[in-house]
Amino acid sequence: MAQVNDKFKSFTKTFRESLFAYFFDVGGICAGAIVASQLSIMQFSPWIIAIYPAVLSAKGMIGGLLSGRLSTALHIGTIYPKLFGNTKSFYKLYQAIIVLTLITSLTISMVSIIFGNQFWGINFSDFYDIVTVVMATMTMGLAFTLVSTIVAFVTFKKGLDPDILVYPIMSTVADLGITTCYVLVLNLFFLYDQTGKEVVLAIGILQIILVLWIFARNMHDEEFSKTIKESLLTLLLVAFIVNITGTVLNKTNEIVEGRKEIYTVYPALIDTIGDVGSVIGSTATTKIALGLIGSSFRFMEHHAPQILGAWISSAIMFTFFSALSLIINNMFSLDMFLRFSYILLASNIIAVIAISIVSLTISVITYKRGLDPDNFVVPIESSLADTLTSVALFIVLLLAG
């Protein structure tokens, strides 16, 4: 009986805190509304709509790495909950994030031109445009990493669990911010002639200079090098994953044919599924690090309360997103709400099952191989969440006709 009570308490705690954290994904609706209002500029080139989820996923990967490392480090005491006068680990982590942002931008751009040439109908001559836009967008998005840090510190000081709260809040702020940056960069690049292109290029060049300076200072630092090296594998995986997401979104775009309610809700959906994976993965890696559960696949049954709490709260949010998207686009009616909610909830079930398996599997495998799960779990699952959600939505829309 005591064990049942403990599991129920774990479930209710995860459910309450997850629902609170997921509520911030409403910001994803704002990001989607921005995209829906800018569909005209999205038609300038086939790569623009395909690169959008790649940029979101890349920012999510980097934010996931930061939030996962911060959450675990706060629990075990290697980072203090303050911005100034913190440990060496804290500042090395931030410098690594800046370097990884540039590497991610370049890698995603190179992989995207291969995918684009095969599936999006673009040429290798588009590479300059893609890499310039992606680098400028990701550079501007670095400002939002400070938000996740402040959230982690505040939640930890308040006695809340940063494993549950940090990434969901950070990912929403980052998606809203990176969407705004992307649209701003696109407008500068395509609508303001040569001057706009030069401004966008200058932003990317500034990041290159900063990264070279950081490398010069940290080349021989073991902790910095470990973060970069372990994250590179994740980065390469993510580069392929996010371009698959972009390809799926392109195919979805052919089905939805400009349906604004889909574009409006899309960032919120991928945010929430990423949050589900983050809650499940982060709580699992922290338990493993603290020795509360073993690093075998049998621990999944002991983690069931967290999985169930994270899923039910996400289903509630999907239903809320359905209503909100329809209201924003002046399309709300009971019939439309029921049909749209069915599409979103069916997508939710498929995506949550998949992301739960992925998060827990990566937690176990990385820990068993002596790697830091925080360098892999949230970054990989956040990117896979975007792909899995996109695929789930595509399948349901295809079946629903």
Q: What is the C-alpha separation between 168 and 254, in angstroms, rounded?
A: 30
- pLDDT band at 300, cuts 50/70/90? low
Mean pLDDT score, 251-267? 81
Kindly indicate the confidence band of residue 344, based on its pLDDT and cuts at 50, 70 and 90.
very high
Percent above pLDDT 70 for the chain: 89
> pLDDT tens digits for 57-106?
788 778 777 777 777 788 788 888 887 878 888 888 888 889 989 998 99
pLDDT of residue 319: 96
| Residue located via tokens 């392109």 | 250
The whole-angstrom separation of Cα 58 and Cα 194 is 27
Higher-pLDDT residue of 33 and 382 is 33
pLDDT score at 350: 95
**Contacts of residue 62, Cβ cutoff 8 Å, sequence gap at least 6:** 97, 100, 101, 104, 145, 379
**139/208 Cα distance (integer angstroms):** 10
> Residue 401's pLDDT is what?
62
The CA distance from 86 to 277, in Å, is 29
The answer on pLDDT for 399 being more than 80 is: yes
C-beta separation of 120 from 250 below 8 A:
yes
Q: What is the DSSP string of 40-88?
A: TGGGS-HHHHHHHHHHHHHHHHHHHHHHHHHHHHHHHTSS-S-SSS--H
